[in-house]
Amino acid sequence: MIRTILLGPPGAGKGTQAAIIVKNNNIPHISTGDIFRENIKNGTELGKRAQEYMSKGELVPDDLVIEIATTRLLEDDCKNGFILDGFPRTVHQAEELDKFLDEHGQEISVVINLEVPDDVLMKRLTGRRVCPKCGATFHIVGMPPKKEGICDICGAELIQRPDDNEETAGNRIEVYNRETKPLIDYYEKKGKIANIDGAAALEVASAAVAEALGG
């Protein structure tokens, strides 16, 4: 049973790796960032609250995120495992997640820690383009779409995520280093960390991830 957390700075490739894991295992991909973006798109109250923080590259308050994530984890499709992407992001979130899993007789199998140097992250984030319709991700240099500005998969016009501009992306990396990096230590102490070179070629990184998840 795979119950994994994808840990790593913004731009480390968590979403990309999650999509590959989903393809090979029948478990849901839970991205708190995606949940918030969906709520922003739909104009919900939650979306409005989250957007205040997301637009500045700050973290959404713990209580709100914990509520959203644990509610999602209670759904039926999480019974046979899950991939958490972007949650937990603070030690408090991790402690609350552990409490929740404990209460439900579950535990994390492994934490995939994607390591990428800061300068590579900035290039990845500012060059990233996403499809607002199907969620596919491209990069203007590293993984350009066949036709400039157009999604290969569904033909929609690609956009830049509003928080991928240089200033906000830089702040997200700082916030990661300050608030989220301590989680490496937290899970290291529990013997759950698998370090993966997230700057390696995609196939190399995804093979290492698959191996860490048990082959």
| Catalytic machinery residues | 14, 89, 128, 161, 172
Partner from ligand ADP, Zn ion, none contacting 33, C-beta within 5 to 8 A by type: ligand ADP
Beta bridge partners of residue 114, listed in sequence order: 196
Closest CA to 122 of 53, 168, 169: 169
Which one of the spans 41-49, 82-90, 150-158, 163-171 is the region binding Zn ion (CB under 5 A)? 150-158
Partner from ligand ADP, Zn ion, none contacting 206, C-beta within 5 to 8 A by type: none
3-state secondary structure of 156: coil
Binding status of residue 134 toward Zn ion by CB under 5 A: yes
**Cβ atoms of residues 187 and 2 within 8 Å:** no
Q: d(Cα 42, Cα 11) in Å, to the nearest integer? A: 25
Binding status of residue 198 toward ligand ADP by CB under 6 A: no
Burial class (CB in 10 A: 0-12, 13-18, 19+), 167: exposed
Binding status of residue 32 toward ligand ADP by CB under 6 A: yes
Closest CA to 115 of 22, 6, 213: 6
Q: Which of 13, 28, 57, 198 binds ligand ADP (CB under 6 A)?
A: 57
Q: How far is the CB of 215 from ligand ADP (least distance, A)?
A: 26
* Amino acid identity, position 162: P
Token digits of residue 95: 């402690």
Q: Locate tokens 């319709």: which residue? A: 133
Binding status of residue 87 toward ligand ADP by CB under 6 A: yes
Partner from Zn ion, ligand ADP, none contacting 74, C-beta within 5 to 8 A by type: none
Binding status of residue 72 toward ligand ADP by CB under 6 A: no
**Cβ atoms of residues 176 and 183 within 8 Å:** no
Q: Which of 33, 40, 96, 124 binds ligand ADP (CB under 6 A)?
A: 33
Closest residue by beta carbon to ligand ADP:
33
Q: How far is the CB of 10 from ligand ADP (least distance, A)?
A: 3
Token digits of residue 36: 């918030």
Residues contacting ligand ADP: total by CB under 6 A: 20
Token digits of residue 25: 């295992």
Binding status of residue 53 toward ligand ADP by CB under 6 A: yes
Partner from ligand ADP, Zn ion, none contacting 153, C-beta within 5 to 8 A by type: Zn ion
Q: Which of 1, 22, 153, 204 binds Zn ion (CB under 5 A)?
A: 153
Q: d(Cα 33, Cα 143) in Å, to the nearest integer? A: 22
